[in-house]
Amino acid sequence: QELKNQGKSPKSMPLSIFTKYQEHRAVRLTHLFPAAVWSATIPLQLHPGVRKNCPQVHRMAGYAFFTSSFLLMIGLGLIISRGLMCSRHDFPPLGVPMPDKKFSIASIEIANEELVAISMGLWFTYTALVAVSAARCGDFVRHQQFAVRHIGSGIWVAIHRLLFVDMLSQKWDDPPARVKNNFDNATIASLALCTFIAELVVRRGLLLGRRQHETARTTTSRATAKIAIKKVQ
CA distance 179 to 14: 10
The 3-state DSSP class for residue 49 equals helix
Note the pLDDT of residue 6: 42
- Rounded Cα distance between 159 and 124, Å, is 16
Question: Residue 233 pLDDT > 60, yes or no?
Answer: no
pLDDT at 226: 54
Give me the pLDDT at residue 212, please.
52
- The pLDDT tens digits of the residues spanning 83-117 come to 888 777 777 654 444 444 444 444 445 557 788 88
pLDDT above 70 (res 218): no
Distance of CA 79 to the CA centre of its chain: 15
At residue 43, does pLDDT exceed 90? yes
Residues 177-181, mean pLDDT to the nearest whole number: 72
Instruction: Tell me what the mean pLDDT of segment 183-211 comes to.
Output: 82
- By the 8 A CB rule, do 84 and 27 touch? yes
The pLDDT, as a whole number, for residue 101 is 42
Rg of the chain over Cα atoms, rounded to whole angstroms, equals 22
What does the pLDDT read at residue 73? 95
Residue 77 has pLDDT above 80, yes or no: yes
Burial profile 50-79: b = 16 or more Cβ within 10 angstroms, e = fewer: ebeeeeeebeebbebbbebbebbbebbbbb
43-47, 52-56, 90-94, 226-230: range with lowest mean pLDDT: 226-230
Report whether pLDDT(38) > 50: yes
Distance between CA atoms of residues 116 and 109, nearest Å = 11
d(Cα 229, Cα 233) in Å, to the nearest integer?
A: 6
Using DSSP, state whether 2 is helix, strand or coil.
helix
Say what the pTM is. 0.75
Section 193-211 average pLDDT: 80
pLDDT at 194 over 80: yes
Q: How far are the Cα atoms of 72, 137, 145, 153, 172 from residue 45, in angstroms, in the given order? A: 18, 18, 12, 15, 38
pLDDT reported for residue 7: 39
DSSP letter (8 states) at residue 104: B
